[in-house]
Amino acid sequence: MRKLTNIFAISIAALMLQGNAAPAVDPDNPTCPAEPNWSANTAMTLTPVEKDGAKILLAEGVIDAGLPDRLRKTLKENPDILEIWLRSPGGDARAGNEAGRIVRETSGAMITRVPAGWTCFSACNFVFMGGRARMIDKGGHFMVHMFTMTGNRNAIDYSVEMGTDSTVELIGEVEQESALLATEDNDFLIRMGVSRKLLTDIMYRQKAVKTEGSDQSTRRCLTREEAFKYNVTNIGG
């Protein structure tokens, strides 16, 4: 298969993205880099490029609600894309899930990859897991956290100002939405062939926000061994 025979050549190109110096470690999240390379693009850009005779899709930036439509269009216009290389700080959780399903629906053994030095965080995890073949290069970071629907602090602060009834209503909506998202995430992992234990053993054990105490971690970067254990990756990098 052309896609798999080109992996070695593309691996050489991916390694060139990695710098010589080891990245500084985040003191609050010691499994992760202090300055993740996940792109400053406020909406994920999709850029088809040629590397060593193969077409690669660079997917970089925040996952926004419009990503699934852009991704579907890009893959349709470029049926010869071999791999999708990802770096992202996350974003819209449901858009990430939908984008992952679009990747999985693409014909052939689409490869998703986190190249050396790049970071795929939060909703990006689910885009990555859409690949039938998945690879995290040595020096690449698959960063996870506890998924929560409480990111909109403005809405919460406003509800507090409005009074107890409004706050209780919002908290109920957040709890209901969080439970629904957890169910969707679980279903997604099953469909993608990733172990559900990734949620229970890793993701749900992370704190959503920093709390008092010595442990200030809210993020976790998988080791290469963990990535293979939970079938997040299924080919070597």
> pLDDT (tens digit, 9 = 90+) per residue, 105-115?
987 789 999 99
* pLDDT value, residue 183: 76
Whether the pLDDT of residue 216 is over 80: the answer is no
pTM of the predicted structure, to 2 decimals:
0.77
Query: Residue 227 — very low, low, confident or very high, per pLDDT cuts 50/70/90?
Result: very high
In a domain, 211, yes or no: yes
In a domain, 34, yes or no: yes
Per-position b or e across 185-220, b if 16+ CB within 10 A of its CB: beebbeebebeeebbeebbeeeeeeeeeeeeebbbb
| Structural domain span for residue 97 | 2-147+196-229
Q: What is the mean pLDDT of residues 2-20?
A: 50
In a domain, 188, yes or no: no
Lowest mean pLDDT among 1-15, 80-94, 182-196, 209-223: 1-15
Mean pLDDT value across the chain? 80
In a domain, 84, yes or no: yes
H or E segment and range at residue 119: strand 119-121
More confident residue, 37 or 209: 37
For helices 67-77 and 93-105, angle between their N-to-C axes, nearest 10 degrees: 20
In a domain, 23, yes or no: yes
Contacts by 192-201 with C-beta closer than 8 Å and gap 24+? 192/100, 192/104, 192/129, 192/130, 193/231, 193/234, 194/129, 194/230, 194/231, 194/232, 195/229, 195/230, 195/231, 197/230, 198/144, 198/230, 198/232, 201/230
CATH of residue 37's domain is 3.90.226
Share of the chain above pLDDT 70, in %: 70
More confident residue, 159 or 220: 220
Per-position b or e across 64-79, b if 16+ CB within 10 A of its CB: beebbebbbebbeeee
In a domain, 214, yes or no: yes
* pLDDT value, residue 174: 46
* pLDDT value, residue 70: 98
Identify which of 237, 43, 58 has the alpha carbon closest to the alpha carbon of residue 140: 237
Please give the angle made by the CA atoms of 72, 193 and 121, to the nearest 5 degrees.
60
Number of domains in the chain: 1
> pLDDT (tens digit, 9 = 90+) per residue, 113-171?
999 999 999 999 999 999 999 999 999 999 998 765 444 434 334 334 444 444 444 34
Question: Could you give the CA distance from residue 118 to residue 140 in angstroms, rounded to a whole number?
Answer: 5
Whether the pLDDT of residue 20 is over 50: the answer is no
Q: What is the mean pLDDT of residues 27-55?
A: 95
In a domain, 97, yes or no: yes
Asked whether 175 and 213 are in contact (CB, 8 A), the reply is no
In a domain, 53, yes or no: yes
Beta bridge partners of 196: none
